[in-house]
């Protein structure tokens, strides 16, 4: 997935053999701080965002970028 965002980016995380879906790290582009992860939640049959440990602060633009990434992941899962 090659989506470009202003303040954050997503990197594919290492997967265990038991997982069948991707996990993506959400990272602050400037500081390199891990903000959270995008992973598949089977109970909802969708990708979701899980914030990382510690305080994370998001503005509306960052939240829209995270939502856009999740939307693209969920649309790709349906195909």
20-63 pLDDT tens trace:
888 999 999 999 999 999 999 999 999 999 998 888 889 999 99
6, 21 in Cβ contact below 8 A? no
User: Given this model, what pLDDT does residue 54 score?
Assistant: 80
Q: Is position 38 within any domain?
A: yes
Q: Is position 55 within any domain?
A: yes
Q: How many domains does the chain have?
A: 1
Place of tokens 């069948």: 20
Calpha distance 9→64 (Å, rounded): 13
Q: Is position 45 within any domain?
A: yes
Q: Is position 34 within any domain?
A: yes
Q: Is position 50 within any domain?
A: yes
User: Given this model, what pLDDT does residue 78 score?
Assistant: 64
Residue 60 structural domain? 8-78
């Amino acid at each position: 997935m090659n989506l470009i965002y202003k303040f954050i980016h997503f990197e594919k995380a290492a997967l265990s053999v038991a997982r069948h879906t991707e996990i993506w790290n959400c990272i602050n582009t400037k500081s390199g701080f891990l903000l959270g992860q995008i992973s598949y939640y089977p109970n909802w049959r969708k990708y979701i965002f899980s914030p990382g440990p510690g305080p994370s602060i998001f503005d509306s633009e960052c939240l829209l970028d995270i939502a856009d990434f999740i939307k693209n992941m969920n649309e790709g899962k349906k195909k």
